[in-house]
Amino acid sequence: MAVFVERGIMSSADRASGSWRPQSDSERQQVRDQLERLLSSPGFVNSQRYPNLLRFVVEQTLMGQEDTLKERLLGIDVFRRSPDYDTNQDPVVRLSAAEVRKRIAVYYQQPEHQHELVIGLNPGSYIPYFRPASHLTDPLPPVVQQAEPSVKQASPLLGRLWRPWAAALLLALFLAGGLAWYISARPSVTEQFWSPVLESPYRVTLCVGTPDTFNASIASDQNLAPSPTLEQKIFHSARLGPANVATLIRLGGILEGRHRSFRLLLASQASFPMLREGPVVLVGALDNPWTMRLTQNLRYGFADDGQSMYVVDRKNPSSRQWSVNLKQAPSSQSGDFAVIARYNDTTLGQPVVLAAGLSSQGTEAAGEILSDPDVLKELFKHAPGNWKKVNLEAVVQTQVIDGNPGPSRILAVEYW
């Protein structure tokens, strides 16, 4: 299983041999000092719930109270949920922990932090681990060295991507292995949903949206106003930012965990013959022309009328009930909409999986749904008996909290 080790994401074997439990007051203070450095970084400083969660689990662990770090108890103690709240309907702890892991990984990816004490959050657990700075220069364990060839095979494709995000995409490939254990723990509904892609003998293409194809008229606006609109923010910040990377981590993890060969392509680089070579996973909507083209004949698609982006219901084309105002300030955005789909595309002659939001938060929420067995079960609750092979498309709504996707719910599903 490929994992990212040098920046603090460890395999189970590495955690067993390289993790460290502070014993003295001085060592515990070292952890607290590192926690403050971590929480003052850009990934945490402008948020409230992610620092609150990380601070709580670290302090409880330092006090030897790991037994309290359960989903329901964290929901009550950290997020002030009622004792009888439904963790399936309100997965705030799971979503927040996933975001914390992502932001920690981004922090330790930075060269200036590579020799610091590591604070990490084990996948599938809410118990943090610690590793002193002296361990960061240790040789990589064999499991990582064995995983290198697969990353090197992907590097020519990654080289075509914007260089500032090449490291983030490599991180996505490595973290994919860390996600694989979660998928394999409850594989049934996930594997059944993904079966048309997983059972194909051909290489899978992950086709991710690129902002230069979205509303090109904005490209000339090189100097953003002090308070940019959501439209401007999407264009100027969507270049494989954290939301796209997080989605690639989740969807790539499903393929990596099943040992499926795949490649990453920018939508602007993908050609029709390339997409016909095997199954396709589309990430992004208005920034991905292939999503716009291949959803034209589906019930649900996407549109932009200059004032708003919206999900089109072609059985009710005049409706704008699923829309986001382009002219609002990003801080005012309280929700987003996305479309997820699995279907056999007659144009490509290949199975297609779609994770696409109106803005980046919706795309990230769609990626979470397609990798979460509990939500997939909800998706198929009213499906026909042959749902394992049937085409389906669903509209999803997600809350946006502090600029990040929160709890999501399925609004409508189409089977055919």
Spatial distance between the Cα atoms of 10 and 210, rounded to a whole number of angstroms: 31
**How much is the average pLDDT of 363-373?**
86
Spatial distance between the Cα atoms of 116 and 314, rounded to a whole number of angstroms: 53
Tokens of 224: 């953003």
Mean pLDDT of the chain: 76
Asked if 290 and 270 touch (Cβ cutoff 8 Å), the reply is yes
Asked if 303 and 309 touch (Cβ cutoff 8 Å), the reply is yes
**Cβ neighbours of residue 223 under 8 Å, at least 6 residues apart?**
none
Question: What tens digit of pLDDT does each residue of 122-176 get?
Answer: 777 899 999 887 544 443 333 233 333 333 343 344 444 444 455 555 555 555 5
Tokens of 36: 């403050």
Question: What tens digit of pLDDT does each residue of 384-405 get?
Answer: 777 667 899 999 998 877 667 7
Of 62-76, 106-120, 200-214, give the lowest mean pLDDT range.
Answer: 200-214
| 121-124: Cβ within 8 A, 24+ apart | 121/54, 121/57, 121/97, 122/15, 123/178, 123/179, 123/181, 123/182, 124/181, 124/182, 124/185
**How much is the average pLDDT of 207-233?**
51
Helix (H, G, I), strand (E, B) or coil at 144: helix
Q: What is the pLDDT of residue 390?
A: 86
Spatial distance between the Cα atoms of 231 and 310, rounded to a whole number of angstroms: 13
Tokens of 259: 């040992």
- pLDDT at residue 298 greater than cutoff 90: yes
Of 81-95, 115-129, 227-241, give the lowest mean pLDDT range.
Answer: 227-241
User: Are β-strands 300-304 and 308-313 bridged in parallel, bridged antiparallel, or unpaired?
Assistant: antiparallel
Tokens of 88: 């399936």
| 5-8: Cβ within 8 A, 24+ apart | 5/140, 5/141, 5/144, 6/114, 6/136, 6/140, 7/105, 7/108, 7/109, 7/113, 7/114, 7/171, 8/104, 8/105, 8/108, 8/118, 8/119, 8/120, 8/131
3-state helix, strand, coil in the chain (%, to 5): 45, 20, 35
Question: What tens digit of pLDDT does each residue of 302-355 get?
Answer: 988 877 889 999 999 888 899 888 677 666 677 889 999 999 999 999 999 999
pLDDT category of residue 263 using cuts at 50, 70 and 90: confident
**What is the secondary structure of 288-332 as a DSSP string?**
-HHHHHHTTTSSEEEEE-SSEEEEEETTSTT--SSEEETTS-GGG
pLDDT category of residue 98 using cuts at 50, 70 and 90: confident
Question: Taking the CA atoms of the chain, what radius of gyration do you get in angstroms?
Answer: 21
- pLDDT at residue 16 greater than cutoff 70: no
**What's the count of helices (H) and strands (E) in the chain, helices before strands?**
15, 12
